[in-house]
Amino acid sequence: MKYKRINFIKLLKKYKSGWVAISSDFENVVFSGKTLKATMQKAKKYKEKLYYFPAGETYSNFVGLFSNANFKI
């Protein structure tokens, strides 16, 4: 299996805090919000798969991600 490199610095340069929802191809930020719950609420009717990430100044300590259209907080 070949893994795709994702440049989070480039992708998330406009977002210094809060949460973002990224498209399944990891090319675009589709939604953003102050909290994960707010971001997921904005994406509620979006049919495509999304990945949620915390936005921040650095991603050196970032461990994982989750994705699930039916995920509830």
DSSP codes of every residue in 16-73: SSSEEEEETTSS-EEEEESSHHHHHHHTTT--S-EEEEE--S--TT----B--TT---
Tell me the pLDDT tens digit for each residue of 28-69: 999 999 999 999 999 999 999 999 988 876 666 555 555 555
Give the chain's domain count. Answer: 1
- 39 is a domain residue: yes
Residue 40 is predicted with a pLDDT of 94
- 59 is a domain residue: no
- 70 is a domain residue: no
Residue 69 is predicted with a pLDDT of 53
Enclosing domain of residue 39: 12-54
- 4 is a domain residue: no
- 63 is a domain residue: no
Residue 56 is predicted with a pLDDT of 78
- 36 is a domain residue: yes
- 28 is a domain residue: yes
- 40 is a domain residue: yes
* pTM to 2 decimal places: 0.73
Tell me the pLDDT tens digit for each residue of 2-37: 777 878 788 888 998 999 999 999 899 999 999 999
